[in-house]
Amino acid sequence: MKLQYRFSLFVIIVPLIFAACNRAEAQPTRTELVLGTACSVTLYDQGAPRVYRNIFRRIEEIEKRMSVNLPGTDIARINAAAGRSSVQVQSDVFLVIERALHFAELSGGAFDPTVGPLVSLWGIGGDYQRVPSQAEIDDVLPLVNWRDVQLDRGECSVFLKRSGMALDLGAIAKGYAADEAAAIIADNGIKPAIIDFGGNILAVGRKKNKSLWSVGVQNPNEGRGAYAGILHITGQSVVTSGVYERFFEKDGERYHHIFSPSTGRPADNGLLSVTIIAPVSMNADALSTAVFVMGYEKGRALIDSLPETEAVFIFKDLSVRKTAGADFTLTDESFRFEY
């Protein structure tokens, strides 16, 4: 599949760094086009140029190891060897796959890092996006099964049991990259900072005036930068999965990029978007995708069972639900809270 590199200069969730944020002390935001999107970091402290360099070097390293779109990455090598042999990988790649399988189990398979064949078949966001026939979907569905990923921790190797299987870490690796950026920032003693990797937001530390960070949650029905409401967070991550990020329309029907591994079609359960607030961005990233596929009832139950994890759900009928600990205010009056 030839995936076109789609760089969105606007992001799903844009951190609204209000006047209260000591703008005067901010280093200029650094933005690079990596991980298939615009990745921005803003450091509110000294010593920034070297730290910026180290952060983006690390993010590029992650892309070179975890992308399905570049040749020779660890993920590309695992996929090429599917059904034949196991492949030794870098320890960070192993870790992200291990976490992806954890979330696959936790979500009852709604999150599944072996969606690769479905991603290729539909090609959403690429030059050859199309609605495949049911027969084509039925052909690839047996290849989508996270239980057929075999890990060997001692060898740091990964084996896909069936030929044709393919890993895709698109729903979790941006979050991991944000956590890695935060680790570099913390190692350099820099606080506060804001990381925005294509809508995966991670606020590092507290703002200097101790006020909360304000993060806008995209209105799924409007263009980029129009918000449904505002979240207030401290040092946490905010990640949204929604129908509006990558999609195409055919015969009045919208086909988006988050698949139900059981039907092989874009997940459709009344939700427009799910936003997760959690301390670790990788977890928030995986959970936003997982809960979007699980739907409100099951997804809400999962979020309620996890410590320090909150969620905001936006529905097609413009109703909004949130967990008790989510500090979320609606700003667009076309939406309404429902409890």
Interface residue list for ligand FAD (CB under 6 A): 3, 5-6, 35-36, 63, 66-67, 69, 111-113, 115, 119, 125, 168-171, 173-174, 199, 241, 245-246, 257-259, 261, 285, 288-289, 293
Q: Which 154-173 residues touch Mg ion, going by CB under 5 A?
A: 171
Cβ closest to ligand FAD, residue 26 vs residue 131: 131
Q: Are 180 and 50 in contact (CB under 8 A)?
A: no
113: partner contacted, choices Mg ion, ligand FAD, none (Cβ within 5-8 A by kind): ligand FAD
117 is in the binding site of which of Mg ion, ligand FAD, none (Cβ under 5 to 8 A by kind)? none
DSSP, collapsed to helix, strand or coil, labels residue 211 as: coil
Residue 306, Cβ density class (10 Å: 0-12 exposed, 13-18 middle, ≥19 buried): middle
Helix/strand/coil (H, E, C) string of 75-98? HHHHHHCCCCCCEECCHHHHHHHH
CB of 259 to ligand FAD, least distance (A): 4
Residue closer to ligand FAD, measured from CB, 66 or 303: 66
Q: Which residue is nearest to Mg ion (CB)?
A: 289
- What is the CB neighbour count within 10 angstroms for residue 64? 14
Beta carbon nearer to ligand FAD, 99 or 207: 99
In the list Mg ion, ligand FAD, none, the entry touching 246 (Cβ below 5 to 8 angstroms by class) is ligand FAD
Nearest residue to ligand FAD by CB is 36
How far apart, in whole angstroms, are the C-alpha atoms of residue 10 and residue 177?
19
- Please identify, using beta-carbon distances, which residue of 119 and 204 lies nearer to ligand FAD: 119
Percent of the chain that is helix, strand, coil (3-state, to 5): 30, 25, 45
Q: Which is nearer to ligand FAD, 45 or 196 (CB)?
A: 196
Q: How many CB atoms lie within 10 A of CB 167?
A: 26
Q: How far apart are CA 61 and CA 277, in angstroms?
A: 26
99 binding partner (options ligand FAD, Mg ion, none; Cβ < 5 to 8 Å by kind): none
Residue 336: strand, helix, or coil: strand
Ranges within 254-293 binding Mg ion (CB under 5 A):
285, 288-289
We find the least distance from the C-beta atom of residue 118 to ligand FAD, in angstroms, to be 7
H/E element, 281: helix 281-294
Binding footprint of Mg ion on the chain (CB under 5 A): 171, 285, 288-289
